[in-house]
Structure 1
Amino acid sequence: MTVPFQKYHGTGNDFLIIPADEYVSNRGALAERECDREEGVGADGILYLALEERFSPPRVVMTLVQPDGATAPMCGNGARCAAEWAMRRTGADSVMIDTQAGTLRADRTDGDITIEMGTPTFDPKAVPVRADEPVFEQEIEGLEVTMVNTGVPHAVAFVDDVDDIDLEAVAPPIRYGDEFPAGTNVTIASPDGSGGFDQRSYERGVEAETDSCGTGAVGIAVVARRLGRTDADPVDVHPPGGHLRVSFNDRGNATLTGPVEHEFDGEVAIKSPTEL
């Protein structure tokens, strides 16, 4: 038995998209196997999408299963990929994305996909982080970390040059730190010389650095504005995989804009019921 998928990426953050009505009894096991870049197709996660065309604009219910087999409540680039997938099927230039972190609107803008990212919060209970007050520039494992939730938790630190940081060594102790009951993503940023920021992110659930992280890009913009490092709108953010723009709309919500590309289609095998 096989299940069809389509592979999309947003600035290098790549996903297998499988229609939610395709039967996969163990989604976590399939993600662990097929997200592996040596043994499987290779991806930062699998998006299970259910398209509901009766609404105007159309709605997409999105579930993201990460390479460790766990479900993540939100992914900025994943939601942008889901929006592009839905727009291609409906011909619409706007869709609503239902995620576990809330319902978000996505629009096509000059060929790119812009998605609302909700209202970021520094509230320690919402991050979550074990602290009585919001955490701003607190030293943890050698980085001055600010904690923010942009749909998922991020520990954001500004450094002189992101390329000088051994992220694979520095990030795991923070990601699994006792301060973070649900764990955290770890994102570092440095000025790009043109008013924006270079980005690198170590993603919870992927357990590695990724080419791009949309929620991390939003985290950089939000924290930079809060700490007085920028007053720009949009804020340009440059992960290794490309260029993202973070803006703030009239409702106080962050928006994330960038390109999305459809890479290829394929099928993955569903093995024995005991395995999957």
Structure 2
Amino acid sequence: MSVLNTVPFEKFHGTGNDFFVVDAEDPVPDRPAFARTHCDRQGGIALDDSNRRGADGVLFLALESRYDPPRVVMTLVQPDGSVAAMCGNGARVAAAWAAERTDSDEIMIDTPAGTRRASLDDDYVTVEMGAPSFDPRDVPLESDEELVEAAVEGLTITAVNTGVPHAVAFVDDVDDVDLEAVAPSIRHAPLFPEGTNVTLASPDGDGGFRQRTFERGVEGETQSCGTGAVAVVAAAKRLGHVSGDDPVRVSPPGGTLSVTVPDEGSALLGGPAVHEGDGEADIVFRER
């Protein structure tokens, strides 16, 4: 591995789901190598006032302020070097980053999963997430049938795509499950040809859900997962655990999110997006 020079970055998090943000105008020739190097939780970047190294991904953002509302092109490169089609908390961070530069409270976000509209109220960001799909072609599944409350590698799973695939399991208490132990076999199950995120949910006793997610691309549990929170509510509606179009509170370890999954149309994800600090990172590339 060689170092070319440095690039400025900003660090944001959405309910603990943290990202390095790099302006796409600043060239990073090998984005996968950059993400693998700097997102590493053991040897990656740590801000001066934080002992937590690394991040859950790098957001490369290209602002197109000439549009009304302004647009930002979002590319999320994950710690394993892969590109995620959608990331709910990442989209909220992208909106906050773009809003800082445009003074706009409405931002359009272009992602590989489609264009999403975000609205801001101070540091609280609500973003459209698209319509969840249980269609096996959309998840995708190696099956012609939807996967709803089916046994997969020891858990009862409902599979849904909320921009990326999720295998959702409702359990009595998310803390009673060793997620790091049970998730990898589901994440790599042959039923999921592109792999899947693995999300646990349990009722919080007040109409909402607690959530834990093992993320594909991070290859471990994250403090929050926005697409996972939407998947929880979408699956809960499908199974009759909730009904109607009212917002549902979902609580991952890193905070609280608000999720609305209407009977028709786009789901909504709301929560805070927090700017943690700034720094500079080495630009690296892998020698061939």
Which of the five TM-score ranges fits, normalised by the shorter chain?
Answer: over 0.9
The change in CA–CA distance for 1:90 and 1:275 in structure 2 (over 3 A counts) is farther
Please, what TM-score do these two structures have when normalized by structure 2? 0.93
Corresponding residue of 2:259 = 246
Rounded Cα–Cα distance in structure 2 between residues aligned with 1:44 and 1:139: 29
Instruction: Find the residue that maps to 2:231 and give its secondary structure.
Output: helix
Rounded Cα–Cα distance in structure 1 between residues aligned with 2:262 and 2:121: 15
Match of 2:30 among 26, 31, 36: 26
Rounded Cα–Cα distance in structure 2 between residues aligned with 1:222 and 1:28: 32
The question of 1:69 aligning with 2:89 is answered no
Rounded Cα–Cα distance in structure 2 between residues aligned with 1:109 and 1:235: 19
Corresponding residue of 2:159 = 147
Please, what TM-score do these two structures have when normalized by structure 1? 0.97
Tell whether the 8 Å contact from 1:9 to 1:260 is kept in structure 2 after alignment: yes
Match of 2:139 among 111, 117, 127: 127
Structural mapping, 1:163-178, within 5 Å: 163-178=175-190
Question: In the alignment, residue 95 of structure 1 is paired with which amino acid?
Answer: I
Question: In the alignment, residue 131 of structure 1 is paired with which amino acid?
Answer: S
Rounded Cα–Cα distance in structure 1 between residues aligned with 2:174 and 2:263: 32
Rounded Cα–Cα distance in structure 2 between residues aligned with 1:157 and 1:177: 15
Deviates more, 1:249-258 or 1:96-105: 249-258
Offset, 1:84: 0.3
- Deviations for 1:57-90, whole angstroms, at most 9, x for unmatched residues? 0000000000000111110000000000000110
Q: Aligned-residue CA RMSD in angstroms?
A: 1.3
Offset, 1:249: 5.4
The change in CA–CA distance for 1:274 and 1:36 in structure 2 (over 3 A counts) is closer
Match of 1:51 among 47, 63, 69: 63
Offset, 1:248: 3.5
Structural mapping, 1:147-226, within 5 Å: 147-226=159-238
Tell whether the 8 Å contact from 1:29 to 1:275 is kept in structure 2 after alignment: no
Offset, 1:251: 5.4
The question of 1:262 aligning with 2:275 is answered yes
Question: Could you list the runs of 4 or more consecutive aligned residues of structure 1 that deviate by over 3 angstroms after TM superposition?
Answer: 248-251, 273-276
Instruction: Find the residue that maps to 1:61 and give its secondary structure.
Output: strand
Alignment coverage as a number of residue pairs: 275
Rounded Cα–Cα distance in structure 1 between residues aligned with 2:29 and 2:265: 40
Rounded Cα–Cα distance in structure 2 between residues aligned with 1:94 and 1:76: 16
Offset, 1:202: 0.1
